[in-house]
Chains A and B, each alone.
Chain A
């Protein structure tokens, strides 16, 4: 039994279907990248996996003792967060909220966990700083540390490198790969297919053609070759 098994899933808004017939599974230790064109339903899929949205059809099963609220999440930044007065420590600690239940305050254990995760993301010297004054890369690390407080098993990352410069992007990918090696299962949305194939173990392509398999299989497939060529072409045009 896999961590997450998706069977014949349909996604969309109201009753308009964007994607249907989606089948894939995520096992413990996998590093899955979801790719596809804009508007193909990547973020909708992620929100459905997090139970923030109801699927239009099909089912999502959690296995191997993975509870629905044990999935850590790195969302795209919202407007609210850009000028939010909060220290790094406060934000990371808020990742422990799902351990509290109805208990009003954080325990010593949870504070230690938050400190440990800040160290892991190398942001411990920023802990008193204000979130809105940090650079984009630092902010992502803060949100990653928060997500790590919420889970030891699965992380969902929505465009983790969006808006970061090339050096920080590479650092971010290395950090995520590091976490994956430590045993955390990772599901990531990315536009950056060229970088993704370097790091990830599985690829799910959604859009007109659906593909799910290992990275090697993807590079051999029609969907993969076409998408890869398109992106390469795009890069060629831009650069």
Chain B
């Protein structure tokens, strides 16, 4: 406990906690929609795209990587959700194609034009987010906070529309809801969340942050609102727990958080079965 209090006096630990909680909250909100729309994999695909963009940014030696990473990821998200509807290459194949393509090119670019002496360390920290969460500058924390608040506001304001579009897109469209615009909005928001979450867990583990809380909540609750609220709370608790454990035990932040998420899922799964069994 003393160790924890001591660590909390360091600003970089406080930053990590603030940013971690905000990112966990945002990523869980749209997780429910993604899982239900059968787009769980899109997080994975986009995160690899973000990795590729990050590699380009590193080679160009940009001080602020966001300038490239954010637009590239947003554009890919829009393209992926677009093609999901009526393309020659079906959604899952398109995602797989883009994601491995971006991953390969990202590593290739980093390798060929490398400026750093510790290449594998750079790649590893981008993929697994090992230390970047602990090296945030105040500027990055503000940017992260602003984007998170924007994501949450959008989600709350469009909650009912997101529900309508997720449950039955055809019905929503037929009765005059602009489903295409909302799908586009969902895509953009997801891209923003993924770029944010790269700092926390790295690009390989982002999908876990998006889908685990939603899947866990769906084991236990039966209404859309309860599932959304539960997955948000669960995600925050897991992120908080993961960060604290990683600080105390000296484990990598990203994978610790995901491990806690997995543990939470197992608990929810068993609880769900127990509750249903008791109900019968």
Contacts and interface: CB of A to CB of B under 8 A. Distances in A.
| A, B co-complexed | yes
Interface string A62-86: 0000011101110100101100111
B163 A94 contact: yes
A98 interface: yes
Interface stretch (A34-42, A99-107, A220-228): A99-107
Given A85-B227, A86-B224, A87-B223, A104 B170 contact: no
Q: What is the interface of chain B mostly: helix, strand, loop, or mixed? A: helix
Interface string A43-78: 000010011100000000000000111011101001
B175 interface: yes
Nearest to A73: B174
Contact of B175 (A73, A91, A106, A129): A73
Interface string B215-245: 0001001111111000000000000000000
A70 to B, nearest CB: 8
B244 to A, nearest CB: 30
Nearest to B222: A130
B173 interface: yes
B171 A73 contact: yes
Nearest to B158: A104
**Contact size class for A?**
35 or more
Given A68-B176, A71-B175, A80-B37, A85 B163 contact: no
A94 B177 CA distance: 11
Contacts of B224: 84-87, 90
Nearest to B174: A50
Contacts of B36: 80, 84-85
Contact of A81 (B156, B167, B172, B175): B167
A147 B164 CA distance: 12
B142 interface: no
A160 interface: no
A26 to B, nearest CB: 16
Contact of A85 (B170, B171, B173, B218): B218
Interface in B265-279: none
A68 B37 CA distance: 26
A51 B170 CA distance: 10
B38 A80 contact: yes
B243 to A, nearest CB: 29
B229 to A, nearest CB: 12
A14 B45 CA distance: 29
A202 interface: no
A91 B171 CA distance: 11
A91 B168 CA distance: 10
A84 B171 contact: no
Given A130-B222, A130-B223, A81 B168 contact: yes
Contacts of A205: none
Given A71-B175, A78-B168, A85-B222, A94 B38 contact: no
B163 A90 contact: yes
B231 to A, nearest CB: 10
- Most interface-central of A128, A133, A150 (chain B CB within 10 A): A150
- Most interface-central of B170, B176, B177 (chain A CB within 10 A): B176
19 contacts: A50-B174, A52-B170, A75-B171, A80-B36, A80-B38, A81-B168, A84-B224, A85-B218, A85-B223, A86-B222, A87-B224, A94-B160, A98-B176, A100-B161, A104-B156, A104-B158, A106-B160, A147-B171, A156-B174
Given A85-B36, A90-B224, 15 more contacts: A52-B174, A69-B174, A73-B170, A75-B171, A80-B37, A80-B38, A87-B224, A93-B160, A95-B171, A97-B161, A97-B175, A98-B176, A146-B171, A150-B175, A151-B175
Interface of A: 47, 50-52, 67-69, 71-73, 75, 78, 80-81, 84-87, 90-91, 93-95, 97-98, 100, 104-106, 128-130, 132-133, 146-147, 150-151, 156
Closest 10 CB pairs of A and B: A69-B176, A130-B222, A50-B174, A87-B223, A98-B176, A98-B175, A150-B175, A94-B164, A104-B157, A86-B224
